[in-house]
Structure 1
Amino acid sequence: MAYITTNRLPEFHQFAYLHEVSGLKKSKKASYTKEQLYEAVCNSFYTFSIYDDNQLIAFGRMISDGIYQALICDVMVDPSYQKKGLGKQIINGLISKCNERGIESIQLFAVKGKGQFYKKLGFQERDAEAPGMSLVQ
């Protein structure tokens, strides 16, 4: 099946629906509203969406300085479309944008249980000597 890929922002209702059905909303530790999460998406450096006809079925985004650092986050695939290579296509689309811009340092946030998926795509866990850290308030 040929899906439509684009870097245009999805509509609010499509994003909110995918965020909910993909389970990504449950992984958020804070209680942000759908509107706040969509505003965050609108402030992204780059987004990559996949549609089946007019239905948003996969999405990912990046935060970046546009020069040498990028952070991939909010990668999600509708459960009924999983195991079809769409997550990989999202990651490849985001990495392609980094390559186009010459961005060499690409980090990502992954939800629990998805580490192996990202390892298959070439990502590595941070070295214990230079751990990634978070401050969640």
Structure 2
Amino acid sequence: MALAWTDSLNNIDWAELSALYQAAGMGLKQPDDLATAFANSRYRCFVFEAGQLIGAGRALADGVDCSYLCDIAVRPADQGRGLGRQIVGRLVDCSRQYRKIILYAVPGKEDFYGQFGFRRMSTAMAIFENPADAEARGLLR
């Protein structure tokens, strides 16, 4: 079946995207929050098969210095097909003119992102809404 790729927000079912993130183990992201986050992102990538959303990702960017890739997910049944690689590749290509491209990875995915040239930062820090949960998920030390 042919894949349909788009960066358009038109016709995105935000509840379907929320379900995709939950199925991919990225927690509960409310549909309204996703609509806001994707609308405020400079770059977006959605992939559909037979009219069903099977992958997505986005990048926040300031226009000059930094692009931050985030919320990259592929439906579990479709993982292993290279879709995640293609989503990241598209977002990296959109971000090539920036001085730095940043992302933070789910623990264990560092090698996947390393193939695009991402390297571990020694100075990255974060403030999480729920630091205990972030620690439990391996995102904070």
Give TM-score, length-normalised by structure 2: 0.81
Residue of 118, 123, 141 corresponding to 1:123: 118
Q: How does 1:39-118 map to 2 (within 5 A)?
A: 39-99=36-96, 102-118=97-113
Runs of 4+ in 1 over 4 A off after TM superposition: none
CA contact (8 A) 1:22 1:79 kept: yes
List gaps (5 residues or longer) in structure 2.
Answer: 130-141
The higher-RCO structure (CA 8 Å, 6+ apart) is: 1
Q: How does 1:2-21 map to 2 (within 5 A)?
A: 2-9=2-9, 10-21=12-23
CA contact (8 A) 2:15 2:31 kept: no
- Residue identity (%): 31
CA apart distance, 1:122:
1.7
CA contact (8 A) 1:16 1:38 kept: no
1:2-51 deviations in Å (ceiling 9; x for gaps): 3111111232122112111111116xxxxx63322332222111101111
CA apart distance, 1:132:
0.7
In the aligned structure 2, how far is the partner of 1:36 from the partner of 1:82? 25
